[in-house]
Amino acid sequence: MPWDFDYQENQETERLKQRLLKKYKGKKLEDIIEGKEFKTEKGICYHIENQEKISLNTINPDSARKKILSNLKLIYGIGDVTELNLKKEGYRTIEDLMNHPRFGSEVKRFLEVLNKCDTCQIVDWIAHRFSKSHSLVLYASGLHNKEDFIFLDIETMGLSEMPIILFGVAQIFGDHMSINQYFVRDVKEEQAALIGFLSHINKDSIFITFNGLSFDIPYVRKRLAYYGMKVDFEKPHLDLLYFSMRASWKERLSNCRLITLEKHLFDIERKDDVPSDLVPEFYDTYMRTQNIGPLIPIIEHNKQDLITLANIFSKLHKEWE
C-alpha cells in the first residue's frame, strides 16, 4: 500500500536524521566538509569545491550545424511530405533552399540567426517549429564550448518565497567536472551565495538543469528580485527532464525522477540520501539544534544531482547521435 510505503520511508528518514545528530554532535561543518568562506560586500557563505573525472559526450560545432541544416522542416511551410519531395529534387540542406522561389526568404532569415550562433534565438526557432525538448535543441548546445555549460541544482527551504540554502554549480574543464557549492549556514548568507553562483555565469553560458524550467530558474529569478539584483539571466536553457521523457529509456521506467534515471541508467544506489522534499525539515533541524548532522546528506544529495545531470546530458547525446 502506498501509505505504508510512505510511512516506512518517513520512519527511515527520521532514523537517519537521529543517527546524523548523534554522529556529528559537537562537530563543525569545516571539520567534516572541506571548504572556505566566500566573502562578498553583501556578506559571506560557505564555499565547497570538488573535482570529478568525467567523459562527456557532446556534438562538435560543425556536426551540430550539419544536423540542424539537414532538417528542412525548420522552415515555415515545410512538413514531412514537402521535405521528402524537396530532398528528392536535390535540396538536401536548408542552405540549398536559399534561392528557392517559395522558401528562399524564410531560409535567409533562419541562416542569419544560425550564423550569429545566438543559441537563445536558435532554440526559440526550433521550439516554435517543434518543441523545447526536440533533439535539435540538444544539437544546438554543440555550438557552445563545453566550458559554457552551467549544470545547476538548488536546494531550498520550501516552495515559493523561501530562501535558497544551497546553490550547486558544475562546469566542465577538460576531462573533469568542477563542482562548486555555495552553502547558506544561516539565511542571512543567501545573498552572498547568490553572488557566488552568479560568478560562474558569463555571456556565453548555457543552463543545464532537471526540471529547471519550472523550478530552479524561476526560483532564482525570484530571489534575485527579492534582493533587487538586476542580472542578465536570459540564457539558453536545456531542461533534461523533458529530453528524458522523449528518450527511448522512458518506456522502461515507472517515472522520470532524477533518482530513478540514475538507478536505471547508471546503476547508482544512493545511501543515506535525503529526498528533496525533506531538505527543508533537515535544514530546520540544523537551525534549531545547531547540529551539522542533517546538513551532510543535503550537501551530498546536491553534489550527486549535479554529477547525474552531467551523466544524463552525456547519455542523451549517445542516444540521439
Q: With contact defined as beta carbons under 8 Å apart, do 313 and 56 qualify?
A: yes
pLDDT higher at 4 or 169: 169
* Residues 232-256: tens digit of each pLDDT: 888 999 999 999 999 888 888 889 9
Beta strands in the chain (DSSP E): 36-40, 43-53, 149-156, 164-173, 176-183, 206-209, 237-239
Of 203, 190, 151, nearest to 283 by C-alpha is 190
Determine the Cα–Cα distance for residues 265 and 259; give it in Å rounded to an integer: 10
Cell numbers found for residue 259? 533518482
pLDDT level of residue 53 (50, 70, 90 thresholds) = very high
Does residue 4 carry a pLDDT above 50?
no
**Whole-angstrom Cα distance, residue 29 to residue 22?**
15
Q: What is the pLDDT of residue 1?
A: 31
pLDDT at residue 2, rounded to an integer = 36
Q: Which phi-psi region, left, alpha or beta, contains residue 154 (left: φ > 0; alpha: ψ -120 to 50)?
A: beta
Domains delineated in the chain: 24-53+144-320 (3.30.420.10), 61-143 (no CATH)
* Res. 3: pLDDT tops 50: no
Give the other-Cβ count within 10 Å of 131's Cβ: 12
Mean pLDDT score across all residues of the chain: 93
The rounded distance, in Å, linking the Cα atoms of 282 and 290 is 11
Query: Residues of the chain with pLDDT > 70: what percent?
Result: 97
- Dist CA 318 CA 34 (whole Å): 35
pLDDT tens-digit readout, 253-293:
889 999 999 999 999 998 888 988 899 999 999 999 999 99
Enclosing H/E stretch for 135 = helix 135-140
Residue that is written with C-alpha cell 562578498 in the block: 40
Of 235, 238, 213, 242, the residue nearest 120 (C-alpha): 235
The pLDDT assigned to 6 comes to 64
187-190 long-range Cβ contacts below 8 angstroms, 24+ apart: 187/157, 187/163, 188/43, 189/43, 189/44, 189/45, 189/46, 190/45, 190/163, 190/164, 190/165, 190/223
pLDDT at residue 285, as a whole number: 97
Q: C-alpha 232: how far from its chain's center?
A: 18
Higher pLDDT residue, 67 or 232?
A: 67
Contact 309, 240 (CB under 8 A): yes
pLDDT of residue 232: 86
pLDDT for 321 equals: 72
Q: CA torsion 255→120→202→46, rounded to 10°?
A: -20
Query: Is the per-residue pLDDT at 122 higher than 90?
Result: yes
Task: Find all residues with CB under 8 Å of 171, minimum gap 6, and list them.
Answer: 147, 149, 150, 151, 177, 178, 180, 200
pTM: 0.93
Q: Give the closest residue to 34 by CA, choosing from 248, 183, 176.
A: 183
Residue 267 CA, chain-centre distance (Å), reads 20
| All cell numbers assigned to 222 | 525570484
